[in-house]
Amino acid sequence: MSPTPANARGGIDLGGTKIQTVIVSARNRVLGEARRPTPTEGGPEDVAAEMAACLREAADGAGVETEKLLGVGIGSPGDANQETGVVSGASNLPGWEGSFPLAENLEKDLGAPAFVGNDVQVAVDGEFALGAAKPFDSVLGVFWGTGVGGGLVLNGKPWLGRGAAGEVGHMLIRRGGPRCSAGHSGCIEAYAGRSMMERKARSLAASGEKTDLFRIMEQRGRDRLTSGVWERALKHDDKVAHELIKRATKALGEGIASAINLLDPEAVILGGGMGVRFGERYLPRIKKAMEPYLFDPKNPPPVLLAELGDLGGAIGAALLAKKAR
Amino acid sequence: MSPTPANARGGIDLGGTKIQTVIVSARNRVLGEARRPTPTEGGPEDVAAEMAACLREAADGAGVETEKLLGVGIGSPGDANQETGVVSGASNLPGWEGSFPLAENLEKDLGAPAFVGNDVQVAVDGEFALGAAKPFDSVLGVFWGTGVGGGLVLNGKPWLGRGAAGEVGHMLIRRGGPRCSAGHSGCIEAYAGRSMMERKARSLAASGEKTDLFRIMEQRGRDRLTSGVWERALKHDDKVAHELIKRATKALGEGIASAINLLDPEAVILGGGMGVRFGERYLPRIKKAMEPYLFDPKNPPPVLLAELGDLGGAIGAALLAKKAR
């Protein structure tokens, strides 16, 4: 085992499907990583225990004890209060409708200072500090995954508004359109969020449209349409899969154009599980969908793919541990 | 005549319909004002000459010579370059498709330093410094007039993005919807811009709908549906007028909600010719239209009416003359 790295930090990306952890060096090199499924039963304590175990696994790989870490940052869904370390209303996690002192809990378990932040915002911060957004001062991050999240960096600093800014996924593209998971009608997420794409695929299948999506899902032992399932279906030229991806990328382009008209950022960064997997292939289509809705179509900001990939959320979270609480 | 006020400044709001000028004291009290119709023929030189004459008229009223002014600020349509004082592509002004050195021209004519800024942004800056937005650090200004303009102040400073931020009027509410003056489909302005409301009224009238809008317009000696014409028609319970105002306020509410989801500002300020005239009456309706589309409908930012009224643009422009170019 190599000597214990000095000033290493931990990062945890807490998602509805999986927990991803990393240990990074002082210069943000990944020294260890681990991944576990997010518990689907129990409550916040159980999720926190699994997070700690998953971080310990990454620390083992990096050859460092968690007690020696400078700190551990957590990118969390729900309302993550950076000041208090409390996470509230993380409705895609089991039994987490109320408030839970996540930072405090992990601090005790891991023996290192812990910090929480919004999952999408830390991923954007990661891209800003270390990834595709490095050359820019102001960026809009769009994270296309189970839902469609977003985050802003303006003049080099995260823009949180009154605490809830960056919900690009809930920007309107068609009043009266289908509803998203949060019940809003016609927003980007209603068309492009992976869980909403699944809902639409189920209703198309139920109404008799032929699709292999659910057969592939079962073959792969999944209980939902993961991005891997979509990928496989597209490869098999599944008509429904192609249609729904087209619908999603169109909505993403239109909504991003609307956001650009308001903010005119230097760049847009596309990330998230679906964004990382399909971005390269479908970016031209997303840009094409933007055009008719841009205030100044001759001068759009560049739309770039997130560079930190699957580990981006966890690496971005580790940045939180650089600041004092 | 009272003694010449020290450190007085001039402000010019250059609109497609009218030129509004003010002279303000060091503490932004209005000392004089004047208003003239914007020339509809000729070119930038003719418009600039009329602006200078209109400012001189306000200066006469204030008992100050323009040469004694600390400076003159101009809120301009088109692309107003603050650095160079050049205004380009002001397509709603006669012969102003190209570039014209507006600040330089007025400097020579008036004998005082001149500064240009975007018309809507200076109006927002005015509300921020002196009006309804004074208590806040971050606001979205929505200016409902001939078009629907917007401006942002974030962390106490105008947010211009790469130079074109704040185009809230061109945010999407219904893909594939009607087109706005700039040719975008389904944006707020397509429904709520006064000139687009007029276009829709004309097409309804042409298809046989009964409306008094155009009779009132002629009676008042107008060649377009001014906000005064709309007001009169609403008073007479004109069905088409009520319908189109309803359609406009709905679009405004939906689009503002979408902007709030992205930016989460501390407040929204509604101004502009239509906003000033109808805001008080229809604000409840606009807020109601926001609700279903807000990410967090329990906690919307306040939506307030601009307080500087018709002079707001010119007073905001005068603030430009406080800075060195």
φ/ψ of residue B216, rounded to 5: -60, -40
From CA B190, how far away is CA B182, in angstroms rounded? 9
pLDDT on residue A309: 87
Predicted local confidence at residue B181, as pLDDT:
85
Chain A, chain B: beta-carbon pairs less than 8 Å apart: 136
* Confidence at residue A310, expressed as pLDDT on a 0 to 100 scale: 87
pLDDT band at B1, cuts 50/70/90? Answer: very low
Dihedral of alpha carbons A268, A269, A271, A276, sign: positive
Task: Please indicate whether, in this complex, the C-beta atoms of B172 and A255 are within 8 angstroms of each other.
Answer: yes
Contact B295 A164 (CB under 8 A): yes
| Cβ–Cβ gap B161/A264 under 8 Å | yes
Tell me if A318 sits within 8 A of A21, measured CB to CB. no
Is the pLDDT score of B46 beyond 50? yes
| Rounded average pLDDT over A181-200 | 95
pLDDT digits (tens, 9 = 90+) for B246-266: 999 999 999 999 999 999 999
CATH of domain B9-119+312-320: 3.30.420.40
A79: nearest CA in chain B?
B296
pLDDT reading at B92 higher than 60: yes
Determine how β-strand B303-305 pairs with β-strand B267-271: parallel
User: How confident is the model over B281-299, as pLDDT tens digits?
Assistant: 999 999 999 999 999 999 9
- Residue % of chain A over a pLDDT of 70: 98
Nearest to B159 among A154, A166, A167 (CB): A154
Average pLDDT over residues B81-92: 91
CA B306-B310-B311 angle, 5° bins:
95
Q: Where does the pLDDT of residue A6 fall: very low under 50, low under 70, confident under 90, or very high at 90 and above?
A: confident
Give the list of residues 6+ apart from residue A301 with CB closer than 8 angstroms, or none.
A260, A264, A265, A266, A267, A268, B162
Helix (H) or strand (E) holding B316: helix B312-320
Contact B8, B24 (CB under 8 A): yes
Class of domain B132-307 (CATH, top level): alpha beta
**Do A168 and B262 make contact, defined as CB atoms within 8 angstroms?**
yes
Among A101, A108, A26, A20, residue whose Cα is nearest residue A66: A108
Q: What pLDDT score was predicted for residue B182?
A: 85
At the fourth CATH level, the homologous superfamily of domain A135-307 is ATPase, nucleotide binding domain (3.30.420.40)
Look at B293 and A185 and tell me if their CB atoms are within 8 Å. yes
Domain A9-123+312-320 shares a fold with domain A135-307:
yes
Interface test with B, best of A136, A175, A181 (most B CBs within 10 A): A175
How many C-beta neighbours within 10 Å does residue A274 have?
27
Q: What does the pLDDT average to over A248-262?
A: 98
Render pLDDT for B97-156 as a digit per residue (tens, 0 to 9).
999 999 999 999 999 999 999 999 999 999 999 999 999 999 999 999 989 999 999 999
Q: Closest by alpha carbon to B54, among B104, B106, B4, B5?
A: B106
Q: How many whole angstroms separate alpha carbon B311 and alpha carbon B308?
A: 6
ipTM above 0.90, yes or no: yes
Supply the pLDDT for residue A92: 82
Q: Decide if B144 contacts B267 (C-beta within 8 A).
A: no
What is the biggest distance separating any 2 CA atoms in chain A, rounded to whole angstroms? 61
Please give the average per-residue pLDDT across A143-167, as a whole number: 94
Nearest CB among B155, B162, B259 relative to A262 is that of B259
Residues of B in contact with A161 (CB under 8 A): 138, 263-266
Q: Which of A286, A187, A228, A126 is nearest to B262 (CA)?
A: A187
Q: Where are the domains of chain A?
A: 9-123+312-320, 135-307
Is A166's pLDDT higher than 90? yes
Residue B207, number of CB atoms within 10 A of its CB: 7
CA distance A105 to A114: 9
Closest partner CB to B175 (pick from A155, A254, A262): A254
**Residue labelled with tokens 């002079």:** B311
Topology (CATH) of A9-123+312-320:
Nucleotidyltransferase; domain 5 (3.30.420)
Q: What is the CA radius of gyration of chain B?
A: 20
| Residue A262: per-residue pLDDT | 98
Which of A162, A175, A292 shows the shortest C-beta gap to B254?
A175
The residues on A that touch B, with CB distances below 8 Å, are 138, 150, 152, 154-155, 159-168, 170-176, 182, 184-187, 254-255, 257-259, 261-266, 292-293, 295-296, 299, 301
Q: From CA B166, how far away is CA B179, in angstroms rounded? A: 19
Q: Bridge-partner residues for A35, per DSSP?
A: A20
**Interchain contact, B264 vs A163, CB within 8 Å:** yes
Q: Which residues of A touch B191 (CB under 8 A)?
A: none
Kindly report the nearest CA distance between residue A120 and chain B, in angstroms.
13
Residue type at B26 in one-letter notation: A
- The pLDDT of residue A28 is above 60: yes
